[in-house]
């Protein structure tokens, strides 16, 4: 345990923690998005999927707690690293220049924190029913989604969150390969493209669902 | 050509504990700059002028003026060593600027590199990192014949690519997080590609990262500003190698750590 | 002044063994009681400090840069010689010895040169073990290239940055010892005096360049490895900080200064582009492996290089020295360049330049092969000149590069001050009147890794450890003198800047004592330099105080010393009435070739300080050649 803590406290240990938890979270959002796409196949499919998930409460809770821990570790470590990074440059440059970094890479904390806010909102909305409780209906997920995304306000929040998540993952995926020590003349450029495609797929998939309701296609 | 300079002037030294000191950008005008001058020669001209006027000349580090000693280094319009890729400030020529340009010149900005005066910073943190393990523990007189261990050319070349680091600190200066991982990665990469260096790879990775963390550098967020600013164009591949080496070393670490022997590792 | 070189007896091959055997040893348990002060962290200093600490001595090491890794050795490009004979092309220790003695125009001490050749092989082993990434061939073994003055391929190299890679190796070893607390490192610290106690060197006075504090360090022996004095010419290929201060102040405390007039002018440097120029940039000698040197046959031919047909070009090195061709030694190649420029055949706007042309080798080997070998040098050239050396020939001209003269040392590298050892470029020992390419790195490392660790024991064994501490009155006195000199400099408040004086000195030196020297010019220099010095002490302007970083004050101290030293250099040049190696007296020549006078000058000239304003005394250490016979040096 001491060993693990020491590892985590080190700079590279912290980075690796971000990469591993980020990878797991990425896999989760990928699966989640794929699961969500069943919405497009109609109420029966998605409701059956929801039912299937709820039919295994033990598994569900293990997954939920696991995810929560991973998420918490990711957030806690990310904030620590970002704080250290700020402290490493107490006085900035009068002329700020950027040679290679893009908005995505510079805004990881921002896009991470907005994702955090979104996740809280999303859980309060669909899982716990604390907000927009009129729409809440865990027995008919399809109806719940359809009602919610019919509100332009809610739909816009969901779309915006996905756009920000897109930027987080756009840098996150290519970044995690480097952090985990994968850098190769031939494959690294491919990973960069893959990063873009996967991020776009996740955000795009989710946005597709939202818009399909908002625009009245489903 | 004419140039206007905004140069950071600071007379009292900062320290790691007390970083903020009164310093400010001061504007100077130079009317007769030759495009064939190097950037530092242009600063020489300014300093001659200031001395004549009884003002203190601008302090800046430099020595070889050939792009190899790593002494020079200032941020020019926010870019370490200025606008030319793969070029140190001493090898940057004024022909890279427009006539009438306004140029802002600042010291490296990082908590680990306190400003000592004007454009001079304290980079001894790099030395301390090296002292923690960027070496092969071989005493004078011990080695066998140089050709006893053949080294595949590809390995030697990779080691070389990392060994070209001149320790100027531009990577730290450019990094959005003032991280030193390109520098430390270069050390690790240099040695790990050579059979002679592989013997101590685990201790080296652990000790270097620990030393780097003690100095208060930031953490890499894989934005690669360092690679873009590095006058020797050291690739960020070395950071991936550093990550790999560190994880490997940590995983292989035995519960009982070797006692005493500090920097020997 | 007693000049006893203390060369071991016996045949030359056995001398070093002999000395190692007869030298007293310091008991391992006692070594830690001795403190050695090593000034300089270049190849010589870093190797010495690390090796001494490994043996168990307490070491304090000093350099004026912000890190020991930045010592001027870092700038060496081309390579390092070693008689490994990996190429099977006829090399041997004896041949390296022979080439070096001959290359030095028979003005070096045979025994030292032989030891250097012997140790050369160990250096490569040591460097490789320390992780120096020398160039390798596809079989994974070390590669070699040729360098001037040799017909075998014995130069080991690391792309165009052999110096940086070797220094990083020595710096790594030094860093390891610093980490182990066996060496205390003082960076940004400049040595300004040696402290003598009862005639022995027992300490130094330094200025902390960050705080401005002037203080003393006491030790049992002092090792100076402070590099060369080429910057007395202002423009040279040396780093801006290179200085004579450490050795000069040691000279003023009684160390003999040998052969100051032996300066090396390197044939292939980028020509001066204007008055603003602060330093000159070397283009490695290795370029002459594939580049051909030429000028137009017709004086005043202003056509572009490409427009001049082959039969109107004079490949003068190939013409004059058919067996060595473009790889003629440096002094010869430089002189030949000067000659063609004097004839009005120089190229470029100033007429002070010759071409180094890669057209033929690019045609023969392809652009990629040339880029592979010299890419970084071509890149550097293009950066500085804004010309593309792949498309048009490089313009080059000789420039001051290296100084063979330095503090006199005996075979054990001890100066005339007991307890003060001098290593690397700072001493005079191995290169005679001309240094062959790739031999300085070899010498610095041989001195630091393999000579001083043995020979210093011979001195220390006779000394009581820690016998002198910093509380002796000699220390306070020396500190006071250094502080007083600083006060005086700061108090002048004149009108001219330090650089202005330095440039003026450089003009005198280059004009009167550069590539060619004559009695009359030197006589004039001996009047001009003291006059300039007087003016300096009347009219220099240094802004700022003694506390904190004051780079003008640092420079002023160095220039003050150059202004004294330059005079000695010219005096030595005047007194050496012969031509040898880099020292070319117009009066002694055979149609442009140097003519030695072995009857009168087969000796090292060693100068002894006599006090301010007094003419120093010239002593001689006779040189005998028992193994390489004195002959006219010919590369034809
Ligand atoms: C551009 C260039 C290229 C070269 N290429 C080659 C080559 O290819 N092959 C070759 O063999 N040789 C080459 N040489 C020559 C060779 O590099 C030097 O002669 C050699 O490196 C000198 O080493 P050194 O250890 O004696 O001194 P340096 O490396 O000059 O070190 C001097 C040290 O002394 C310190 N110092 C100096 N004065 C003081 C003071 N007053 N107080 C405190 N510290 C002080 C400095 O800080 C520094 O650490 C080249 C030289 C130049 C200029
Ligand atoms: C769906 C949720 C999330 C996913 C899939 C995700 C994914 C990732 C990935 C893959 C990385 C790259 C790791 C690396 O650089 O090696 C990363 C980095 C980062 N994440 Fe997240 N993340 C999520 C949520 C968050 C949240 C809520 C925060 C809030 C603080 C956050 C903050 C960060 C930060 C600051 C980084 C940069 C770390 C660094 O490079 O040092 N992330 N994330
Ligand atoms: S002065 Fe040496 S790298 Fe610029």
Q: List, in order of start, the domains of chain C with CATH numbers.
A: 265-400 (3.90.700.10), 473-596 (1.20.58.100)
Q: Kindly tell me the burial class for residue B57, based on how many C-beta atoms sit within 10 Å of its own C-beta (0-12, 13-18, 19 or more).
A: buried
Long-range (24+ apart) CB contacts under 8 A made by C27-33 are: C28/C56, C30/C465, C31/C55, C31/C56, C31/C57, C32/C56, C32/C57, C32/C58, C33/C58, C33/C465, C33/C466
Does residue B103 share a domain with residue B186? no
Examine residue B11 and state whether it is found in any structural domain, yes or no. yes
Q: Does B176 touch chain A (CB under 8 A)?
A: yes
Q: Is the CB of B207 under 6 A from ligand 3?
A: no
Whole-number pLDDT of residue B265: 43
**CA-based nearest residue to C260, from C527, C567, C43:** C567
Q: Which is higher by pLDDT, C579 or C373?
A: C579
Choose the closest CB to C65 out of B71, B137, B160: B71
Mean pLDDT over each residue of chain A, to the nearest integer? 95
Rounded distance, CA A211 to CA A195, Å?
A: 24
Residue C6 has pLDDT above 90, yes or no: yes
Q: Per residue in C449-461, is it b (16+ CB within 10 Å) or e — as a string?
A: bbbbbbbbbbbbe
Mutation test residue for ligand 2: of A32, A78, A174, A178, the one with most atoms within 8 Å of CB = A78
> What atom of ligand 3 comes closest to residue B231's alpha carbon?
3
Do residue C129 and residue B138 have CB atoms under 8 angstroms apart? yes
Residue C449 structure tokens: 């890794």
Q: What tokens were used for C57? A: 């001595």
In chain C, the N- to C-terminal Cα span, in Å, equals 41
Ligand 1 centre from C255 Cα, in Å?
21
CA-based nearest distance A206→chain B, Å: 27
B187 with B215, same domain: the answer is yes
Number of C-alpha atoms within 13 angstroms, CB side, residue C325? 13
**Residue ranges per domain, chain A?**
2-89+102-211
Residue nearest to atom 51 of ligand 1 (CA): C76
pLDDT in tens, C439-466: 999 999 999 999 999 999 999 999 999 9
Cross-chain Cβ contact B196/C128 below 8 Å: yes
What percentage of chain A's residues is helix, strand, coil (to nearest 5)? 80, 0, 20
> Is pLDDT at A166 greater than 70 in this prediction?
yes
Q: Is C426 in the pocket of ligand 1 (CB under 6 A)?
A: yes
For residues B89 and B127, state if they share a domain.
Answer: no
Cβ contacts of B166 on chain C, cutoff 8 Å: 74, 164
Which residues of chain A are within 8 Å of residue B247 when distances are taken between CB atoms?
12, 16, 181
**Which positions 163-192 of B are in contact with C (Cβ < 8 Å)?**
163-164, 166-167, 190-191
Residue B62 CB less than 6 A away from ligand 3? yes
Tally of CB atoms within 10 A around C184: 17
| Residue B236 counted as domain residue | yes
Q: Which three-class secondary structure state does DSSP give residue C246?
A: helix
Residue B258 has what pLDDT? Answer: 55
ipTM above 0.90, yes or no: yes
Cβ of B247 under 8 Å from any chain A Cβ? yes
Statement to judge: residues B93 and B132 lie in one domain: no
Ligand 2 pocket test: pick from A8, A108, A174, A179 the residue with the most ligand atoms within 8 Å of its Cβ: A108
Nearest Cβ partner of A10 from B109, B209, B255?
Answer: B209
Cβ(A21)–Cβ(A75) under 8 Å? no
User: Tens digits of per-residue pLDDT, C17-75?
Assistant: 999 999 999 999 999 999 999 999 999 999 999 999 999 999 999 999 999 999 999 99
Q: Do B217 and A11 touch (CB under 8 A)?
A: yes
Show which subunits contact A, needing at least 3 CB pairs below 8 angstroms. B
Q: Is B123 a pocket residue for ligand 3 (Cβ < 6 Å)?
A: no
Asked if A100 and B224 come within 8 Å (Cβ–Cβ), the reply is: yes
Q: What is the dihedral of CA B98, B104, B110, B113, to 10 degrees?
A: 90
What secondary structure letter does DSSP report for C616?
P
d(CA B32, CA A189) in angstroms, rounded, equals 46
Query: How many Cβ pairs within 8 Å bridge chains A and B?
Result: 133
| Residue C276 to residue B36, Cβ atoms within 8 A | yes
Instruction: Write the CATH number for B8.
Output: 3.10.20.30
C530: exposed, middle or buried (Cβ count in 10 Å: 0-12, 13-18, 19+):
middle
pTM higher than 0.90: yes
Q: How far is B37 from chain A (nearest CA, A)?
A: 24
Would an 8 Å CB–CB cutoff place B50 in contact with chain C? yes
Q: Name which of C35, C37, C65, C82 is nearest C450 in CA terms.
A: C82
Say if ligand 3 is within 6 A of residue B70 CB: yes
- Lowest mean pLDDT segment, chosen from B20-24, C116-120, C616-620: B20-24
Q: Are residues B130 and B106 in the same domain?
A: no
Q: What is the pLDDT of residue B256?
A: 67
Among C370, C338, C361, C359, smallest CA distance to C271 is for C338
Q: What residues make up the domain containing B224?
A: 123-138+148-252
Three-state secondary structure of C397-453:
EEEEEEECCEECCCCCCECCCCCEEECHHHECCCCCCCCCCCCHHHHHHHHHHHHHH
Give mean pLDDT, residues C615-625: 97
Statement to judge: residues B133 and B88 lie in one domain: no
What average pLDDT score do residues A168-194 get? 97
> What are the residues whose beta carbons fall under 8 Å from the beta carbon of A178, sequence distance 6 or more?
A188, B222, B236, B239, B240, B243
Q: Quick check: helix, strand or coil at residue C35?
A: strand
The phi and psi torsions of C141 (rounded to 5 degrees) equal -100, 165
Residue with tokens 């020590």: A181
Half-sphere exposure of C452 (CA within 13 A, CB side): 41
Looking at residue C636, what is its pLDDT? 83
Are the beta carbons of C427 and C35 closer than 8 angstroms?
no
Spans of chain B below 50 pLDDT: 263-265
Give the pLDDT confidence score for residue B264 in this predicted structure. Answer: 46
Ligand that comes closest to the CA of residue B41: 3
On whether both B103 and B185 belong to a single domain, the answer is: no
Average pLDDT over residues C617-631: 96
Q: Which of C124, C129, C136 is nearest to C80 (CA)?
A: C124
Count of structural domains within chain B: 2
Please state, as a whole number, how many other Cβ atoms lie within 10 Å of the Cβ of residue B253: 15
Q: How much is the pLDDT for B261?
A: 55
B156 & B235 share domain: yes
Q: Whose CA is nearest to atom 44 of ligand 1?
A: C63
Interchain contact A85–B (C-beta under 8 A)? yes
Domain A2-89+102-211 class in CATH = mainly alpha
The average pLDDT across A103-117 equals: 97
Question: What contacts B15, CB < 8 A, 6 or more positions away?
Answer: B114
Residue in B with minimal Cα distance to A2: B255
Residues B208 and B133 both lie in one domain: yes
First to last CA, chain B: 55
Determine the straight-line distance between the first and last CA of chain A, rounded to whole angstroms.
Answer: 51
Would you say residue B80 lies in a domain?
yes
Q: What band does C375 get if pLDDT is binned at 50, 70 and 90?
A: confident
Please state the atom number of ligand 2 nearest to the C-alpha of residue A16: 16
Catalytic one among C330, C345, C533, C596? C330
Residues B87 and B68 sit within 8 Å (Cβ to Cβ): no
- How many C-beta neighbours within 10 Å does residue C154 have? 27
Residues B74 and B10 in one domain: yes
* Angle at C351 (CA atoms; ends C348, C353), nearest 5 degrees: 70
Residue C431: which of C110, C17, C69, C211 has the closest Cα?
C110
pLDDT in tens, C253-267: 999 999 999 999 999
- Is any ligand 2 atom within 6 A of the Cβ of residue A75? yes
A218 close to A146: Cβ distance less than 8 angstroms = yes
Q: Are A16 and A152 in contact (CB under 8 A)?
A: no
Quick check: helix, strand or coil at residue B218?
A: strand
Instruction: Decide if C12 contacts C626 (C-beta within 8 A).
Output: yes
Residue B67 CB–ligand 3 contact under 6 Å: yes
* Torsional class of C236: left (φ above 0), alpha (ψ -120 to 50), beta (otherwise): beta
Tell me whether residue B89 is in a domain: yes
pLDDT (average), residues C419-436 = 96
Give the number of whichever ligand sits closest to the CA of residue B166: 3
B177 Rama class: left (phi>0) / alpha (psi -120 to 50) / beta: alpha
pLDDT at A171: 98
**Of A11-15, A143-147, C14-18, C185-189, which gets the smallest average pLDDT?**
A143-147
Nearest ligand 3 atom to the CA of C75 is 2
So what's the pLDDT on residue B257?
56
Q: What is the pLDDT averaged over residues C101-124? A: 97
Could you read off the pLDDT of C62-85 as tens digits, one per residue?
999 999 999 999 999 989 999 999
Nearest chain B residue to A11 by CA distance is B219
Segment holding C217, helix H or strand E: strand C214-218
Can you say whether residue C243 is alpha, beta or left, with left for phi > 0 and alpha for psi between -120 and 50 degrees? Answer: beta
For residues B106 and B127, state if they share a domain. Answer: no
Q: What is the CATH number of the domain that holds B179?
A: 1.10.1060.10
Percent of chain A with pLDDT over 90: 90
Residue B117's DSSP bridge partners are B120
Residue to substitute in A116, A172, A175, A195 for testing ligand 2 pocket (most ligand atoms within 8 angstroms of CB): A172
User: Minimal CA–CA distance to B181: which of B189, C430, C257, C231?
Assistant: B189
Do B45 and B162 belong together in one domain? Answer: no
C330 is catalytic: yes
Q: Both tokens of residue C359?
A: 């057209």
State whether C543 and B50 contact (CB < 8 Å).
Answer: yes
Chain B, 113 to 172: residues with Cβ < 8 Å from chain A are: none
C553: left (phi over 0), alpha (psi -120 to 50) or beta: alpha
Summarised one tens digit per residue, pLDDT across range C210-267 is: 999 999 999 999 999 999 999 999 999 999 999 999 999 999 999 999 999 999 999 9
């Amino acid at each position: 345990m001491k060993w693990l803590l020491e590892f985590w406290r080190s700079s590279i240990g912290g980075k690796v923690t971000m990469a591993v938890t980020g990878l797991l979270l990425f896999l989760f959002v990928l699966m989640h998005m794929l699961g969500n796409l069943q919405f497009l196949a109609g109420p029966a499919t998605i409701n059956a999927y929801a039912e299937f998930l709820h039919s295994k409460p033990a598994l569900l809770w293990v997954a939920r707690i696991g995810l929560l821990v991973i998420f918490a570790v990711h957030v806690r470590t990310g904030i620590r690293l970002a704080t250290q990074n700020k402290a490493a440059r107490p006085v900035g440059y009068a002329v700020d220049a950027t040679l290679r970094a893009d908005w995505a890479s510079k805004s990881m904390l921002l896009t991470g924190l907005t994702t955090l806010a979104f996740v809280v909102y999303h859980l309060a909305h669909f899982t716990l029913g604390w907000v927009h409780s009129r729409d809440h209906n865990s027995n008919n997920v399809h109806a719940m989604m359809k009602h919610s995304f019919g509100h332009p306000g809610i739909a816009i929040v969901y779309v915006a969150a996905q756009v920000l998540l897109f930027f987080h993952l756009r840098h996150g995926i290519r970044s995690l390969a480097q952090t985990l020590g994968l850098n190769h003349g031939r494959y690294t450029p491919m990973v960069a493209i893959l990063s873009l495609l996967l991020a776009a797929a996740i955000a795009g998939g989710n946005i597709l669902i939202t818009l399909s309701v908002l625009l009245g296609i489903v | 050509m004419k140039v206007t300079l905004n140069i950071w002037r600071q007379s009292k030294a900062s320290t790691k504990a007390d970083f903020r000191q009164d310093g400010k950008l001061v504007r100077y005008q130079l009317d007769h700059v030759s495009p064939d001058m190097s950037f530092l020669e242009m600063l020489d001209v300014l300093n001659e002028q200031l001395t004549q006027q009884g003002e203190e000349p601008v302090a800046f580090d430099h020595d070889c003026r050939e792009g190899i000693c790593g002494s020079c280094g200032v941020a020019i319009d926010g870019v370490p060593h200025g606008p030319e890729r793969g070029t140190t400030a001493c090898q940057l020529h004024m022909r890279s600027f427009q006539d009438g340009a306004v140029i802002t010149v600042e010291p490296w900005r990082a908590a680990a590199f306190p400003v000592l005066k004007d454009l001079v910073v304290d980079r001894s943190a790099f030395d301390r990192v090296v002292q923690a393990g960027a070496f092969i523990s071989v005493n004078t007189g011990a080695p066998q014949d140089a050709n006893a261990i053949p080294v595949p050319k590809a390995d030697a070349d990779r080691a070389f690519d990392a060994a070209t680091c001149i320790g100027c600190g531009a990577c730290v200066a450019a990094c959005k997080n003032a991280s030193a991982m390109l520098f430390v990665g270069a050390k690790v990469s240099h040695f790990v590609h050579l059979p002679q260096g592989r013997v101590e790879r685990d201790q080296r990775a652990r000790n270097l990262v620990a030393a780097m963390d003690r100095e208060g550098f930031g953490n890499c967020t894989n934005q690669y500003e360092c690679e873009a600013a590095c006058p020797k164009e050291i690739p960020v591949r070395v950071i991936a190698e550093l990550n790999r080496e560190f994880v490997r070393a940590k995983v292989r670490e035995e519960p009982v750590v070797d006692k005493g022997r500090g920097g020997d590792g | 002044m007693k000049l006893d070189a203390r060369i071991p007896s016996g045949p030359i091959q056995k001398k070093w063994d002999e000395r190692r055997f007869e030298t007293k040893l310091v008991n391992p348990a006692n070594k830690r009681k001795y403190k050695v002060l090593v000034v300089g962290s270049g190849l010589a200093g870093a190797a010495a400090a690390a090796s001494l600490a490994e043996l168990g001595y307490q070491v304090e090491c000093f350099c004026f840069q912000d890190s020991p890794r930045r010592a001027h050795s870092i700038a060496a490009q081309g390579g390092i010689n070693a008689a490994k004979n990996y190429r099977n092309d006829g090399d041997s220790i004896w041949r390296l010895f022979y080439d070096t003695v001959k290359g030095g125009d028979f003005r070096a001490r045979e025994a030292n040169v032989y030891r250097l050749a012997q140790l050369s092989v160990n250096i490569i082993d040591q460097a490789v073990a320390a992780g120096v990434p020398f160039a390798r061939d596809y079989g994974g073994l070390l590669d070699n290239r040729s360098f001037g003055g040799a017909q075998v391929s014995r130069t080991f190299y690391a792309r165009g940055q052999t110096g940086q890679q070797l220094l990083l190796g020595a710096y790594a070893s030094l860093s390891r010892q610093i980490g182990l607390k066996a060496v205390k490192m003082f960076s940004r610290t400049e040595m300004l005096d040696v402290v003598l106690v009862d005639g022995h060197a027992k300490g130094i006075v330094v200025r902390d360049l960050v705080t401005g504090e002037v203080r003393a360090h006491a030790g049992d022996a002092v090792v100076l490895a402070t590099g060369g004095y080429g910057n007395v010419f202002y423009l040279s290929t040396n780093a801006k900080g290179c200085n004579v201060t450490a050795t000069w102040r040691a000279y003023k405390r009684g160390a003999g200064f040998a052969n100051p007039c032996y300066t090396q002018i390197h044939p292939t440097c980028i020509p001066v582009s204007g008055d603003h120029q602060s330093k000159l940039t070397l283009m490695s000698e290795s370029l002459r492996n594939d580049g051909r040197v030429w000028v137009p046959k017709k004086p005043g031919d202003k056509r572009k290089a490409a427009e001049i047909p082959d039969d109107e070009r004079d490949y003068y090195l190939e013409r004059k020295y058919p067996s060595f061709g473009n790889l003629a030694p440096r002094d010869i190649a430089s002189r030949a360049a000067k000659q063609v420029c004097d004839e009005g055949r120089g190229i470029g706007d100033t007429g002070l330049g010759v071409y180094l042309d890669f057209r033929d080798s690019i045609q023969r080997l392809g652009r990629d092969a040339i880029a592979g070998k010299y890419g970084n040098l071509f890149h550097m050239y293009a950066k500085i000149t804004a010309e593309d050396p792949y498309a048009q020939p490089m313009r080059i001209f000789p420039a001051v590069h290296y100084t063979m003269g330095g503090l006199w040392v005996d075979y054990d590298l001890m100066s005339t001050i007991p307890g003060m050892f001098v290593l690397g470029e700072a001493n005079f020992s191995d290169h005679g009147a001309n240094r062959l390419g790739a031999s300085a790195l070899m010498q610095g490392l041989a001195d630091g890794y393999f000579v001083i660790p043995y020979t210093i024991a011979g001195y220390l064994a006779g000394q009581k450890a820690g016998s002198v501490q910093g509380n002796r009155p000699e220390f306070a006195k020396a500190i006071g003198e250094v502080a007083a000199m600083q006060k005086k400099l700061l108090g002048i408040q004149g009108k001219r800047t330090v650089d202005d004086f330095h440039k003026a000195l450089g003009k005198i030196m280059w004009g009167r004592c550069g590539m060619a020297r004559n009695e009359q010019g030197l006589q004039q220099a001996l009047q001009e330099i003291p006059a300039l010095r007087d003016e300096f002490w009347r009219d220099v302007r240094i802004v700022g105080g003694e506390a904190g970083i004051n780079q003008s004050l640092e420079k002023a101290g160095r220039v003050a010393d150059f202004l004294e030293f330059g005079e000695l250099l010219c005096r030595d040049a005047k007194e050496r009435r012969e031509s040898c190696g880099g020292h070319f007296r117009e009066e002694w020549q055979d149609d442009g070739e140097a003519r030695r006078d072995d009857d009168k000058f087969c000796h090292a000239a060693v100068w002894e300080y006599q006090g301010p304003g007094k003419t120093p005394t010239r002593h001689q250490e006779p040189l005998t050649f028992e193994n390489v016979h004195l002959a006219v040096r010919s590369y034809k």
